Structure 1
């Protein structure tokens, strides 16, 4: 399974178009974790799955998108209804209840990876306005198979940030 994960683009449709053009033949799915601030009839939503964020006032997106047609079931949320700035417990409970392998979320604008109780929690940061110690605009490429999960992080110029690379051997987790 290969996914492109992006969040919090806050009106920057240009970068979303670039991501689709660059990766259309290289990923299985495109994931946007909300706060696009784009209308729900924007053409990018024909390709990219998204959810409603706290700044998506003019679109009718779902609050949660669950995907079960991939090798590893996952959900996309923005996070503002799940207390993600303080804890992952709400996401963990939701993931366990729905038997999900991955939870993708945004809202905090802070790149973050966690693995707890057999669930991967991934926040790709913000492609428009990053916060926290890392001030890079980021998105992620996730590759998962039966033995490994790899996450590569890129900036808005599509340059890889190799120091942020993450890898988990599934036989060890």
Structure 2
């Protein structure tokens, strides 16, 4: 299964729709700060959560089950103070019994395996911080809870310094 993970698109509906259309993934996860009306989001299999800049009353957290064996926690991250530390987010993930946490808020791409938990921030689709490029991520699930993560710029060019293959 291919999963598109985006965050912090901050109202750029056209760019979000272009990326969603080009990638043609089975599932789309938006980690918040979409900053549009919910009904303006692409009409695909989409899981979106509310970020600190969103006004729509979508949930602040959601859990997605992939291939009946992998659980993903989706949150924006501001409530867990991810700009300072990932500890609170890791504790929440352990509490929820998930394998992957997808979050945003910092506008910086991150892909890190911590024990058996994959922490994934796709970066910002429109307003990068601390890096020179906006970004999104593609998660491809494989057998036996193996995932491959690749990062891309909005034009589809791969960002090779991020991502990898992980056994969860």
Supply the distance in 1 between the matched residues of 2:21 and 2:162 (Cα, whole angstroms).
24
Q: Deviations over 1:32-79 (max 9, x none)?
A: 10001011222425532110001102x111100111253411011000
Aligned to 1:65: 62
Aligned to 1:28: 26
Number of positions where the alignment pairs a residue of Structure 1 with one of Structure 2: 166
Supply the distance in 1 between the matched residues of 2:145 and 2:101 (Cα, whole angstroms).
19
Which is richer in strand?
2
Matches within 5 A, 1:1-173: 1-24=1-24, 27-44=25-42, 46-57=44-55, 59-70=56-67, 71-132=69-130, 134-145=131-142, 146=144, 148-168=146-166, 170=167
Supply the distance in 1 between the matched residues of 2:44 and 2:141 (Cα, whole angstroms).
24
Is the Cα–Cα contact under 8 Å of residues 111 and 163 in structure 2 kept in the other structure? no
Supply the distance in 2 between the matched residues of 1:144 and 1:109 (Cα, whole angstroms).
24
Supply the distance in 2 between the matched residues of 1:83 and 1:75 (Cα, whole angstroms).
16
Supply the distance in 2 between the matched residues of 1:97 and 1:34 (Cα, whole angstroms).
21
Q: Shift of the alpha carbon at 1:144?
A: 2.4
Change (3 A) 1:87 1:44: same
Supply the distance in 2 between the matched residues of 1:165 and 1:64 (Cα, whole angstroms).
24
Q: Deviations over 1:111-154 (max 9, x none)?
A: 1112113110000000100001x210100111122263211111
TM-score, structure 2 normalization: 0.91
TM-score, structure 1 normalization: 0.88
The 10-residue stretch of structure 1 (145-154 or 48-57) with the greater mean CA deviation from structure 2: 145-154
Q: Shift of the alpha carbon at 1:159?
A: 1.0
Supply the distance in 1 between the matched residues of 2:128 and 2:44 (Cα, whole angstroms).
26
SS of the equivalent of 1:73 reads strand
